[in-house]
Every structure is written in structure tokens, then in C-alpha cells.
Amino acid sequence: MSTPQTDLAIWDIESVDPAKALQIRAMREQVQADPETFWLEQAKRLEWERFPSVGNRSTFEDEVSIRWYEDGKLNVSVNCLDRHLKERGDQTALIWQGNDPGVSRQLTFRELHAEVCRVANALKSLGVKRGDRVAIHLPMTVEVVACMLACARIGAVHVVLFGGFSPEGIGERLIDSGAVAVITCDAAKRGAKTIPHKAVIDAALRHTGSIGSVKNVIVVNVSDTSAPMTAGRDHDYAELVAGQSDVCEPEIMNAEDVFFLLYTSGSTGKPKAIVHTTGGYLVWAAYTVDVTFPAERGTTHWCTADVAWITGHTFVVYGPLANGSTTLLFEGLMGWPQAGRWWDIIDRFNVSSFFTAPTAIRALMRDGDDLPRQYSLASLRRLASAGEPISPDAWLWYYEVIGQKKCPVIDMWWQTETAGPMLSAIAGAQKLKPGWATTGIPGIFPSLTNEKGEIIENREAEGCLCFDESWPGQTRSIWGDHKRFRETYFTFSKGRYFSGDGARRDADGNLMITGRMDDVINVSGHRIGTAEIEDAVATDHSVAEAAAVGINHDLKGQGIVVFVVARNTKTLPSEAHLSKVICERVGRYAAPEKVYLVSELPKTRSGKIVRRLLRKIASNETDSLGDLSSLADTSVVPALIALVQKQL
């Protein structure tokens, strides 16, 4: 567990507006006294076909069952599009800025509605039905948003797949989710490069072989490259969609029908699909965006997260659109064709709410302060950060140089499992504290426990971050594995949801996240399980066993270091080869910083690899190795230290 630097943490920003503070206090008091009424009131943010008569019916006990608004009926696309048509049908819903600076598109709510209906009809024409899973593997384009909403329109379950996954990783997810269709593109544009997408899907489908359930592949032409098409299976998006009607009756869903699956990493090698359902998720998306990060009418909301991430689902697509805001989607890279690209986009589209990740802030800081100062940035009203701990110095830079000391910086803590921010300061209602995610938003009750899962009553404390009550956007399960769901989140501290993160609490009850407590590494905001890396390396015939750990990294937050024991000491695999194996099996984003070939790994007497020790050795923190008495053989330690120091 790494602890962010805290020298500046006592510094706070006085920006409290008494009226706003009072309003938020009233919300906190109401939800404390009568949560059922509070959450039913939040449900009024949406248009329901049948308004729910019940709010929370969840229990963290026994088999664990999370249920919200269960007799409610609604359709997500109606809430994001149709209900805005009357009042703001001609307002821009989506601004799309292409990779090429000269290319952009804007769609009004009416235009987006029509496109979504056409895509929904196209999916239907291929036989896609309510409840079917549809994998979406697209870059940041108008089509990705249209396809997500089209699935929502017909009640299909979307599974948005990250562009960086390897073909094998995608194949595995297609099998696990039972996807019947894949929507992809010829190739994605990333700065000066094009990244083949269709070829990756073709390879993934070869990998799934006969156990795969994909019957149709829809290919969007993004880069004007020619992708090979398989007759009878592959369809050109433009051809398929063009002839469709722009009227499509929405499928009316039950609140607890599955809305989408999103894969994330955990402590075991097998990626897990986090299940989110319809009513609770959308109430939560609408509520959290509005309470933490509202966008004034006529201004633009920009969250730079990829749509394949939970932040992209909630803060790029569903939250802003459910609130009737304009959301911006950027296809390209922050530094291409030149540094300052993001600042140019903010000025060009009058972005008022800007949200990015600490890894991006650290990279932008390296460009220096003069660059952003060449832009006006006057439209900005609030800034946010999520995905990993933000250090106080990065927070201050974001506040001073980008926000020009006028915009609050909101550090939000959330997870794929929570679907929206759980810990976040509410601008205007409370003081901000650089490096601290502060408190639970109204309706959220965080607690800290010790390593045994027992509650810590003391205010000032450090422990394991748990939540005592359910919230509407809480994940309902892991797809096909409810037992793993219960064991991962609900057995650590009885009657609580355990997040997997550690946190520190100050005397005022503010929380600072100290990092993951399990075997998950956060590389530039991507969650990667050490077991995923280890399983990938172990498939290579030259490897006997391997252990992966996360070390601090200036730019990425954390980097991956792998210790490998070769099967045969006479023919050692090269570091480059092992790195390639990881990229091929997991994805490019999991490329390790360093692979060490070692003769033995440190293990306990019961044979468990002591990763804590490897992490210290890889970080060159050898003067704080801690208690070594549990090791089966302590002589491996000096050998490992010598090897690492030689290569540092």
C-alpha cells in the first residue's frame, strides 16, 4: 500500500456557499432519517413507465441480494433522449471532436435519437433481442454512443470492450458474456497511427472457435482502411443502418433487468464481468453527475475517460445525457498533433466541467505551465479527477494552472462496482483538501475496518474502506458467478461491502485513499490483477513460476515488475520475450517495466509467494523489509536484492 505525500493535506480551500452547504446538509439529514423516501425522491429524476413503489430491498447478509426500485419499469434511451425532445430537441447532445483537428460533428438530441433508433432497428434486423449480449469494441466515435443507446433501446445488454485488450482477452470475454454480436470498426485512429480493430476481432473469434456464440459482426468505417469481411457474418455499419427507420419503439424494461456488463480485474486471473441493472444504475448516474459535477445548460461537459471504462459509461454517456447536458467525446490523443490539444478543445467548445485522471494530469504537468497559459480556459467552472490517488502537488497544479484558482477540483473515488462516485467533495458545500477524496456523497456511508474486518470507531485512523449500506448503482453480481461476488466483497467484514482499497481518516471525517489492499495494480488508471500477469507469463513453456508486483511510477502511478523463475537455467528466456508474451495475452497496457529472472521466489512455509517483500525489493526499499520470520528460506532475500540492485 503506497501512501501519498501529505505535507500539503492540511491546506484547504474556503469556497463554501452557505445556501449550498445547507442544501447538502438537509440531504444528508434526510437520507439518514428516512433513506427510503430520499431514494424514491431521487428516482423522480427519471421518466418511468411505471414509477417504483419501493426503493432499497437489498441485503448484504446470507447469499447477498442487491435490489432497487424493483417494481419500476423504464427504458434508458427514453430517459437520455426522448424525454428531452420536447424542450431541448435542438440542443446539442453530443459534440464529437475527431482525431484530426479539422474534423468534428455535433448532434442534437433529435439527431442522436434518430441515429439510435436506426441502429436499434439494424440490431433487430439481425435478430438481436431483449436480454442478448452485444459486445462493443469501438474507439471514441459518435457510433460508440449510438450503439450503447441502441442496445438500451431494445433491451440488449451491452458489453463495451477496451481497445487495448489482446485478441485472446477479447475472445475470453466474448465466451464468458455469451455475446451474440460484436460491433467494431476497421481501424481506430490514435494520433498519427491507425490501430487495427477488425483484425483483432477476427483473431478473437478464431480464438473462441466453436464455443463462441457470436453470429454477427458489424463494422464501422472509422479510418477508411479495407478490413477483410466474412460473408454472412460481417456487415458494413453504414449500409446496415442507412436504410433503417428512425422510429423504434423502446423496450420497456424492469428496473432489475440487466443493463450492461463491464469487465474489470480482481485478485484472480479470470476477468470478471460486473453486472449493472437498469433502474438503479440510471437513477445513480443521473444523481451522481448532478450532485458532484453538474453542467449548466448550454455549456459542455467533458470527461476524457474512454467509454470502455465505468467513468466513460456514467460520466461520458448516461449521466450527462440523463441530465440533458451536452457531452463531449474526443477521439484523439492529448499531445497530437501537438501538445496543448486538450486546452484547445476546451476553448473551442466552451467546456465548463472537465474531468480527467491523475495519470493524465501528471503527464500534462511535464509540458510545463506556459503551455496551458497560452489558452483562455475561461469557460471552465469545475474540474474533477478520478481513477487513482491524486497527489497534493498534482491537485494544486490542476487547481492553479488549469482552473486558474477559480474552479474547485473534485477528487472522486469510485469503482466499476460502484458505477458512480461514492466519495467526493461537493463543491460549495464543503472545504476541499488536496489529495483527499473527502467524504461520502449524500446517501453514502463509508466506514473503516481493521485487517480483520472489525469496525474502527476512532475518528483519526487508517484501515480498509467499506460501505455500510447499499446504493442504487451498486453492482448486483459478477456475471455467472454470484459466489465469487459474495466472497470478494461481502465476507471480509460482515454486513458491509469491502472495496479492496485502504484509506486514512482525519479528525473531520475526511478520507484519503491510500491504494489497493489486494493483488490489483493500477497502471495509468487501468486495473490489472497480478494473477492475470502471472497466468499469462506461466503459459510460456520456458517459465516455471512467476510473481507480479506493482511499484510506484512517476507517470503511470504504478508500474508492473515481474519476477520469473525459468524452467531450465541453461536456456533462459529473454526479458523482451516475456514482455511480449504479456502484451499478447493480456494487452499492451500491461507491458511490464522490468522482468527479473530469478532462481527462487520468497515463499512462506505454506508455499505462498510473499509479494509484499518482492514489492519492497523491486522498489529498492530494502531497509524496511519488515518481518521475514514467516519465510520458508530467508537466504533467497539477499540474492534477490543483489540481482535487482545490479539492474537498477
Closer to ligand 6R9 by CB, 240 or 410: give it.
410
Return the number of other C-beta atoms located less than 10 Å from residue 477's C-beta.
Answer: 21
Closer to ligand 6R9 by CB, 414 or 497: give it.
414
Smallest separation (angstroms) from ligand 6R9 to the CB of 417? 7
Closer to ligand 6R9 by CB, 311 or 327: give it.
311
Closer to ligand 6R9 by CB, 355 or 563: give it.
355
User: C-alpha dihedral over 261, 262, 267, 270, to 10 degrees?
Assistant: 70
Closer to ligand 6R9 by CB, 185 or 523: give it.
523
Beta-bridge partners for 477: 275
Q: How many helices (H) and strands (E) does the chain have?
A: 21, 28
Query: What one-character DSSP code corresponds to residue 163?
Result: T
Query: What one-character DSSP code corresponds to residue 432?
Result: B
Closer to ligand 6R9 by CB, 381 or 526: give it.
526
Smallest separation (angstroms) from ligand 6R9 to the CB of 304? 13
Smallest separation (angstroms) from ligand 6R9 to the CB of 313? 10
Closer to ligand 6R9 by CB, 317 or 513: give it.
513
Rounded to whole angstroms, the Cα distance separating 257 from 71 reads: 11
Distances (CA, A) of 599 to 504, 549, 570, 638: 38, 17, 12, 12
Closer to ligand 6R9 by CB, 256 or 501: give it.
501
Rounded to whole angstroms, the Cα distance separating 286 from 555 reads: 32
Nearest 5°: CA angle at 184, between 178 and 186? 145
Closer to ligand 6R9 by CB, 331 or 501: give it.
501
Smallest separation (angstroms) from ligand 6R9 to the CB of 498? 11
Closer to ligand 6R9 by CB, 293 or 309: give it.
309
Residues 633-647 as b or e (16 or more Cβ within 10 Å = b): eeebbeebeeebeee
Rounded to whole angstroms, the Cα distance separating 401 from 382 reads: 13
**Amino acid identity of 339?**
A
Q: How many Å is the Cα radius of gyration of the chain? A: 24
Smallest separation (angstroms) from ligand 6R9 to the CB of 537? 23
Rounded to whole angstroms, the Cα distance separating 648 from 628 reads: 23
Smallest separation (angstroms) from ligand 6R9 to the CB of 640? 27
Rounded to whole angstroms, the Cα distance separating 638 from 648 reads: 15
H-type alpha helices, 412-495: 482-489
Smallest separation (angstroms) from ligand 6R9 to the CB of 369? 24
Smallest separation (angstroms) from ligand 6R9 to the CB of 620? 24
Closer to ligand 6R9 by CB, 205 or 503: give it.
503
Give DSSP secondary structure letters for 537-575.
Answer: HHTSTTEEEEEEEEEEETTTEEEEEEEEEES-TTSPPPH
Smallest separation (angstroms) from ligand 6R9 to the CB of 265? 8
Cell output for 383:
474540474
Cell output for 509:
471525517
Closer to ligand 6R9 by CB, 412 or 562: give it.
412
Cis peptide before 337 (omega within 30 of 0): yes
Rounded to whole angstroms, the Cα distance separating 231 from 215 reads: 11
Smallest separation (angstroms) from ligand 6R9 to the CB of 264? 5
Smallest separation (angstroms) from ligand 6R9 to the CB of 272? 11
User: What residues make contact with ligand 6R9 under the rule CB under 6 A?
Assistant: 264, 309-311, 386-389, 411-416, 437, 499-501, 513, 516, 522, 525, 527
Smallest separation (angstroms) from ligand 6R9 to the CB of 357? 8
Q: Which residues are CB-contacts of 605 (< 8 A; sequence separation ≥ 6)?
A: 630, 631, 632
Query: What one-character DSSP code corresponds to residue 632?
Result: S
Do β-strands 157-160 and 133-136 pair in parallel, antiparallel, or remain unpaired?
A: parallel
Closer to ligand 6R9 by CB, 115 or 411: give it.
411
The phi and psi torsions of 587 (rounded to 5 degrees) equal 150, 160
Handedness of CA 398, 400, 403, 405 (dihedral sign): positive
Secondary-structure percent of the chain, ordered helix, strand, coil, rounded to 5: 35, 25, 40
Closer to ligand 6R9 by CB, 136 or 274: give it.
274
Cell output for 63:
447469499
Smallest separation (angstroms) from ligand 6R9 to the CB of 499? 6
Smallest separation (angstroms) from ligand 6R9 to the CB of 23? 24
Beta-bridge partners for 565: 545, 598
